[in-house]
Structure 1
Amino acid sequence: MLVGYMRVSKADGSQTTDLQHDALIAAGVGPERVYEDRASGKRDDRPELAACLKGLRDGDTLVVWKLDRLGRDLRHLVNIVHDLTEHGIGLKVLTGQGAAIDTTTASGKLIFGIFAALAEFERELISERTTAGLVAARARGRTGGRPFKMTPAKVRLAMASMGKPDTHVGDLCAELGVTRQTLYRHVSPAGELRDDGKKVLSRR
């Protein structure tokens, strides 16, 4: 069974799906089996796409007018088609740059395999660049990740305050700008230094 999906970026009526709809019907998709979203391709919350993918069954073929109607980027597209393939569902693109893709045919599978390889290559490049950046930063004395919530000064203030009977933990957390969990991870209720607190004080 053929199932169609179409999308326009704006929901204000300034864009129509007439061209996509006509193309899907001409390709053999029944009018009652066409799903439509009015949202940017970059958005994750596309309810009709979610309903379309959920309703597909083994042996069905998802038909789209252009490849960019389906996914927000190459990796997203690869992931969608990978999931479709695992469930025995085909994908057919009618026009545009991806018109050669028809995963129900051998040549279409080959074309999409090239796309998948490019997406994997992109992931590896991003990983390599990230790793190289971290190595370069460490060589200059910098470390990656989020800034620490607790500073040496905050740890010392917490140690001095927690040992006092009149200290209100909630007020102290507000003053330090941390949660109770973070505070207790660094300093005990008696004001004793804990492992995380020792790490903070040992930092340069």
Structure 2
Amino acid sequence: MARIGYARVSTEEQNLDLQLSALTNAGCDRVFSDYGISALAKRRDGFEQALETLRPGDTFVIWKMDRAFRSLRHALEVFDLFEETGIEFHVLTEGIDTTTPMGKCFFAIRNAFAELERNLISERTKAGLQEARRRGTRLGRPCALNRRQIADARLRRSNGETMAQIAARSGVSERTMYRIIGGQQRA
């Protein structure tokens, strides 16, 4: 009966040392990890490898709940798989041990709060972006050309130059040029 650990950090600026140390100290036989990958990513190779390694009687160990699961639904799906296959589940920082009824209950409650937190963050972000738009703040990356370059491109277009020629002279793609100076038809 193996103890299989999993660790993950979302950005490349973060490091796995704290989680790896805790998983090693918890007696994990093998530890899989994902580096610089969001929990929301559909594909996380380390997580998938850890799940594929688990056998009945093994224990899946993580440092903290939000390191492994994308949502409450995802956590519950994985937990159902663990129950069906006889795999135990431990969360080191939150003291969750799914071999007990209280551990199972705490697992579900903790995941509900984690999903609530993600939804609140998303809601605040959307509200902030909406307020910035209301104030007239331009969002997104800056335009590839300045106003003078755009005016020059429009003049060249009206003088019969092709979009490909204008784009090449301006140092942008033809597609970008079409987007910037309007959806005029190709010459």
TM-score (normalised: structure 1): 0.57
Identify the match of residue 172 of structure 2 among 166, 178, 181. 178
Contact 1:134–1:143 under 8 Å retained in 2:
no
Tell me the secondary structure at the aligned position of residue 5 of structure 1. Answer: strand
| Structure of higher CA gyration radius | 1
* Paired position in structure 2 for 1:51: 49
Contact 1:169–1:180 under 8 Å retained in 2:
yes
Map 1:92-103 onto structure 2 (within 5 A): 92-93=89-90, 96-102=92-98
Cα separation, partners in 2 of 1:54 and 1:157, compared to 1, 3 Å? farther
Alpha-carbon offset, residue 126 of structure 1: 1.0
Alpha-carbon offset, residue 141 of structure 1: 1.8
Cα separation, partners in 2 of 1:175 and 1:101, compared to 1, 3 Å? farther
* Paired position in structure 1 for 2:127: 132
Gaps of 5+ in 2: 8-15, 38-42
Tell me the secondary structure at the aligned position of residue 142 of structure 1. Answer: coil
Q: Please list the CA deviations of residues 98-141 of structure 1 after superposition, one character each: whole Å capped at 9, or x if unmatched.
A: 22331x54322211112112112212221221122123213322
Q: How many residues align?
A: 163
Cα separation, partners in 2 of 1:163 and 1:117, compared to 1, 3 Å? same
Q: Please list the CA deviations of residues 64-107 of structure 1 after superposition, one character each: whole Å capped at 9, or x if unmatched.
A: 2xx31xx6x6264464633412434544217x4322331x5432
Identity of counterpart residues, as a percentage? 26
* Paired position in structure 2 for 1:63: 60
* Paired position in structure 2 for 1:199: none
Contact 2:4–2:58 under 8 Å retained in 1:
no
For the aligned residues, what is the CA RMSD?
A: 3.9
Tell me the secondary structure at the aligned position of residue 142 of structure 2. Answer: coil
* Paired position in structure 2 for 1:74: 66
Q: CA separation in 2, counterparts of 1:159 and 1:119? A: 51
Cα separation, partners in 2 of 1:166 and 1:173, compared to 1, 3 Å? closer
Q: CA separation in 1, counterparts of 2:24 and 2:123? A: 44
Alpha-carbon offset, residue 189 of structure 1: 3.4
TM-score (normalised: structure 2): 0.61
Paired AA for residue 186 in structure 2: P
Gaps of 5+ in 1: 25-33, 191-204
Identify the match of residue 156 of structure 1 among 139, 151, 154. 151
Contact 1:3–1:61 under 8 Å retained in 2:
yes
Q: CA separation in 2, counterparts of 1:91 and 1:81? A: 14
